[in-house]
């Protein structure tokens, strides 16, 4: 069927006997004006420039949003963000809306594969729909803030070379089937840190260095595909998800503003024999147009409900009728800081920025958007705002992504990549300030987060004062400032700030969970329980919140309530080791020893490195009189944490009771060597040596023990008695 459709579209011929391969390359955070084919003279992109020379360059390709996940979702579905529901990098995932390119290709017999450079595009966000292979980076630890604590959390990105290798491995799996391969390069995203030799060559221009490195990897990918005979009939599409501010209009990176620095992107197509070399299309195009264009060029049926318009006629060298208005949006400032949302309408060369203070630009005369025409064009602004409302109505009912929200690890991942993830509109803010006037505050906020990642809390607090001076109602800044004050020991100040953040953004899960965490740490258990229940009102399916509520109830000695909450956490996240272990401890205190043992065994099976759970399991086995099982549990914990004092002590004690004096002595010696001030280690080792017949060394240890500061007072009297009352 696929072959017949392709023959009909291309006029038959032997070459069309096999459907062509399709390669979609997406570049993260690449401005159009940083490529040579768009006039840049920095020498960064010889391979991309070659693709443009051998095929098509779109002069005015416009992103639907200056953020990775919403823009890629539109590229793959042909839908605008209000329709597909992915409005930000945080708290959204692609649901059932629309059809993806991968699904369309797989329906037609293609092998479909993706190799992505960042976990912003993780399979958990729904973009894996239709892919036979979805190769994504594994997470690595990086220090980032976590509630009112600061700890190591995940970061998930990988260099372009790793992405290229993953893409080539996927192609190997395609066999004789035609492939649709999506390759996503994340490197130009901040922080800019290209590898050698690009870091040296572009020492003063690291952003360009990242682009140059990515370009070289695209060249390697194409060369390897050619060497494997897979490029003779291959449609190549290259597009960026968004650009980068680089300080223009006050925006250092991207995400908030809708100027062309972050919206105008490269878009290139190459298909030898099908797209004439040197084709140039000046008509504006949107990211939603790419998927319909690819299918149109191949002669495949269009995607049902797609909102983009194919520009295949222009790609073939023909006439292209004028494109209707283009829509772009940024809800990032709204979600992160409670600012006004920003929308953009582009009609030909005229662009309206819809904000509390609207702006109007003639891009033909003013491509850098330096001369705002809105103050002198009130009537035109009103008309274009009306047309924007009409376009939004045409796009369809506004939708939002997954109601379940995102888990704590993904939230921390986005924070590590420089994104603020407040989790929802700050409904408590009535002022909704204009983001265009607050970019210095946004940069200062991100600087504060970077300082936190380095452990420089006092400096971060000072930076946040600048944010709150410019924007006193900023809920993200209030929450972060509260977490810092709390962590610095000013707990009541911190809690007061966190409470203000919750009032400013009552529907934001992250702020409520931070307050709940602070209440619990401060021992305000009733308020902590209430706050966690409020967090569950925002995200009912949050396993994290169910688990945390269980911890609070356990601290309140409400064992039935804690058990119910832990069970609910495990329903939402089966096999979660911390919840299994906590459930076991709650069962134990509630008097159900067998249920406790079963839950702790599940915990260590789920995570063999969970040494605390091994230790608790051993203690419980020992209480039940099962010394061999207790010893095995302690040894399981010691495999994960060989030097842990509690495990060594308990293992030595269990071995002593079992009569294995050699094993007991070995653990006792290791314990004392690693923890010389342990309050009972000398007494235990003395008991082992006494049983082994080494009375002299045993007495020496007992004398040291009774003189030891901090020795267990319950054992000191027994030690004195053993020494015959002669010890000091």
Model pLDDT, residue 412:
54
Strands of 285-286's sheet in order across: 264-265, 61-62, 285-286
Model pLDDT, residue 327:
98
Half-sphere exposure for 232 (CA within 13 Å, toward CB): 7
Residue 151: phi, psi to the nearest 5? -150, 180
- Of 19-33, 372-386, 415-429, the one with minimum mean pLDDT is 415-429
**pLDDT band at 110, cuts 50/70/90?**
very high
Q: Answer whether 511's CB lies under 8 Å from 420's CB.
A: no
pLDDT in tens, 190-208: 989 999 999 999 999 999 9
* CA dihedral angle for residue 153, residue 154, residue 160, residue 163, rounded to 10 degrees: 160
Is residue 144's pLDDT more than 80? no
Q: What is the mean pLDDT of residues 324-338?
A: 92
Is residue 403's pLDDT more than 50? no
Q: What is the mean pLDDT of residues 346-354?
A: 97
Is residue 14's pLDDT more than 50? no
Strands of 21-27's sheet in order across: 133-135, 111-115, 179-185, 21-27, 234-240, 267-270, 56-58, 279-281
- Of 425-439, 505-519, 583-597, 655-669, the one with minimum mean pLDDT is 425-439
Report the b/e string of 49-72 with b at 16+ CB within 10 A: bbbbebbbbbebbbbbbbbbbbbb
| CB atoms inside a 10 Å sphere around CB 20 | 19
What is the average pLDDT value for the chain, to the nearest integer?
Answer: 89
pLDDT in tens, 46-84: 999 999 999 999 999 999 999 999 999 999 999 999 999
490: part of which helix (H) or strand (E)? Answer: none
**pLDDT band at 329, cuts 50/70/90?**
very high
Model pLDDT, residue 415:
53
- Of 24-28, 137-141, 291-295, 524-528, the one with minimum mean pLDDT is 137-141
Q: What is the rounded distance in angstroms from the CA atom of residue 359 to the CA atom of residue 370?
A: 10
Q: How is residue 641 written in tokens?
A: 């944490």
Model pLDDT, residue 446:
86
Interior CA angle at 716 toward 710 and 720, to 5°? Answer: 140
Q: What is the rounded distance in angstroms from the CA atom of residue 128 to the CA atom of residue 238?
A: 19
Model pLDDT, residue 45:
97
Q: What is the rounded distance in angstroms from the CA atom of residue 53 to the CA atom of residue 50?
A: 5
Model pLDDT, residue 181:
98
Model pLDDT, residue 408:
56
Q: Read off the DSSP letter of residue 122.
A: -
- Most distant CA atoms of the chain, gap in Å: 107
Q: Answer whether 309's CB lies under 8 Å from 323's CB.
A: yes
Q: Answer whether 283's CB lies under 8 Å from 310's CB.
A: no
Question: What percent of the chain has pLDDT above 90?
Answer: 75
Residue 351 class from Cβ within 10 Å (0-12 exposed, 13-18 middle, 19+ buried)?
A: buried
Collapsed DSSP state (helix, strand, coil) of residue 536: helix
Radius of gyration over alpha carbons of the chain, in Å?
31
Q: What is the rounded distance in angstroms from the CA atom of residue 671 to the CA atom of residue 667?
A: 6
- Of 153-167, 604-618, 637-651, the one with minimum mean pLDDT is 153-167
**pLDDT band at 584, cuts 50/70/90?**
very high
Collapsed DSSP state (helix, strand, coil) of residue 102: helix
| CB atoms inside a 10 Å sphere around CB 433 | 19
* CA dihedral angle for residue 273, residue 274, residue 278, residue 281, rounded to 10 degrees: 180
Q: What is the rounded distance in angstroms from the CA atom of residue 473 to the CA atom of residue 223?
A: 53
- Asked if the peptide bond before residue 644 counts as cis, ω within 30 degrees of 0, the response is no
Residue 33: phi, psi to the nearest 5? -75, 10
pLDDT in tens, 152-188: 334 478 999 999 999 999 999 999 899 999 999 999 9
Residue 665: phi, psi to the nearest 5? -65, -40
CATH of domain 24-315: 3.40.720.10
Q: How is residue 718 written in tokens?
A: 């027994």
The Cα-based distances of 465 to 443, 445, 461, 482, 484 in angstroms read: 13, 9, 7, 12, 12
pLDDT higher for 150 or 389? 389
Collapsed DSSP state (helix, strand, coil) of residue 341: coil
Q: Answer whether 49's CB lies under 8 Å from 37's CB.
A: yes
- Domains of the chain by residue range: 24-315, 676-728
pTM: predicted TM-score of the whole model, two decimal places: 0.79
pLDDT in tens, 207-233: 999 999 999 999 999 999 999 888 789
Q: Answer whether 108's CB lies under 8 Å from 1's CB.
A: yes
Q: How is residue 4 written in tokens?
A: 């017949």
**pLDDT band at 453, cuts 50/70/90?**
confident
pLDDT in tens, 357-368: 999 999 999 999
pLDDT higher for 71 or 123? 71
Pairing of strands 61-62, 264-265: antiparallel
pLDDT in tens, 537-582: 988 989 999 999 999 999 999 999 999 999 999 999 999 999 999 9
Q: What is the mean pLDDT of residues 626-631?
A: 95
**pLDDT band at 726, cuts 50/70/90?**
very low
Q: What is the DSSP string of 636-652?
A: HHHHH-TT-HHHHHHHH
């Amino acid at each position: 069927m696929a072959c017949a459709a392709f023959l009909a579209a291309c006029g038959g011929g032997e070459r069309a006997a096999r459907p062509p391969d399709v390669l979609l390359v997406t570049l993260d955070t690449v401005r159009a004006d940083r490529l040579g084919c768009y006039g840049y003279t920095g020498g960064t992109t010889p391979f991309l420039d070659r693709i443009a020379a051998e095929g098509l360059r779109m002069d005015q390709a416009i992103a639907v949003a200056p953020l990775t996940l919403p823009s890629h979702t539109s590229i793959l579905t042909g839908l605008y963000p209000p329709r597909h529901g992915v409005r930000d990098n945080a708290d959204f995932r692609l649901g059932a809306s629309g059809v993806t390119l991968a699904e369309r290709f797989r329906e037609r017999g293609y092998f479909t594969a993706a190799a992505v450079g960042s976990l912003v595009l993780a399979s958990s966000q729904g973009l894996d729909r239709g892919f036979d292979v979805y190769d994504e980076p594994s997470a690595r630890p990086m220090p980032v803030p976590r509630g009112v604590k600061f700890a190591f959390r995940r970061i998930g990105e990988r260099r372009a070379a790793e992405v290229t290798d993953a893409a080539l491995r996927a192609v190997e799996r395609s066999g004789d089937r035609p492939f649709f391969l999506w390759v996503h390069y994340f490197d130009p995203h901040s922080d800019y840190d290209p590898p050698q030799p690009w870091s040296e060559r572009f020492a003063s221009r690291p952003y360009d260095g990242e682009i140059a490195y990515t370009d070289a990897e695209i060249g390697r990918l194409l060369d390897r595909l050619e060497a494997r005979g897979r490029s003779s009939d291959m449609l190549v599409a290259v597009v960026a998800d968004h650009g980068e501010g680089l300080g223009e209009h006050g925006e250092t990176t991207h995400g908030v503003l809708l100027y062309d620095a972050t919206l105008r992107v490269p878009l290139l197509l190459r298909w030898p024999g099908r797209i004439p070399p040197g084709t140039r299309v000046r008509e504006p195009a949107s990211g939603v147009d790419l998927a319909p264009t690819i299918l149109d060029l191949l002669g495949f049926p269009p995607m049902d409900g797609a909102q983009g318009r194919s520009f295949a006629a222009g790609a073939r060298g023909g006439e292209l009728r004028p494109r209707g208005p283009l829509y772009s949006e940024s809800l990032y400032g709204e979600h992160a800081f409670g600012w006004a949302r920003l929308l953009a309408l582009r009609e030909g060369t005229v662009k309206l920025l819809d904000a509390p203070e609207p702006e109007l630009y003639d891009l033909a005369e003013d491509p850098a958007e330096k001369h705002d025409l809105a103050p002198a064009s009130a009537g035109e602004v009103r008309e274009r705002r009306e047309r924007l409302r009409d376009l939004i109505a045409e796009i369809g009912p506004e939708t939002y992504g997954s109601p379940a929200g995102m888990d704590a690890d993904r939230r921390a991942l986005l924070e590590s990549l420089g994104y603020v993830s407040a989790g929802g509109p700050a409904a408590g803010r009535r002022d909704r300030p204009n983001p265009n006037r607050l970019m210095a505050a946004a940069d200062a906020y991100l600087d504060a987060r970077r300082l936190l990642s380095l452990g420089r809390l006092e400096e971060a607090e000072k930076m946040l004062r600048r944010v709150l001076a410019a924007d006193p109602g900023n809920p993200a800044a209030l929450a972060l400032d509260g977490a810092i004050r709390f962590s610095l020991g000013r707990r009541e100040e911190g809690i007061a700030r966190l409470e203000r953040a919750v009032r400013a953004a009552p529907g934001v899960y992250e702020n409520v969970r931070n307050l709940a965490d602070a209440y619990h740490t401060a021992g305000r258990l009733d308020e902590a329980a209430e706050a966690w229940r409020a967090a569950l009102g925002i995200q009912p399916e949050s396993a994290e919140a169910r688990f945390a509520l269980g911890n609070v109830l356990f601290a309140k000695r409400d064992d039935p309530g804690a058990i119910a909450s832990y069970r609910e956490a495990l329903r939402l996240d089966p096999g979660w080791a911390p919840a299994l272990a906590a459930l076991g401890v709650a069962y134990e205190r509630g008097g159900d020893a067998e249920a406790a043992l079963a839950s702790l065994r599940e915990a260590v099976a789920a995570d063999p490195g969970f040494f605390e759970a091994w230790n608790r399991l051993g203690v419980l086995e020992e209480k039940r009189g099962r010394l061999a099982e207790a010893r095995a549990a302690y040894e399981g914990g010691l495999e994960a944490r060989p030097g842990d004092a509690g495990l060594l002590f308990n293992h030595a004690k269990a071995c002593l009771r079992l009569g294995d004096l050699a094993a007991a002595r070995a653990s006792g010696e290791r314990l004392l060597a690693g923890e010389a001030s342990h309050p009972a280690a000398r007494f235990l080792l003395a008991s082992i040596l006494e049983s082994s017949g080494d009375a002299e060394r045993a007495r020496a240890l007992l004398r040291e023990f009774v003189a030891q500061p901090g020795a267990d007072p319950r054992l000191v009297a027994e030690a004195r008695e053993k020494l015959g009352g002669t010890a000091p």
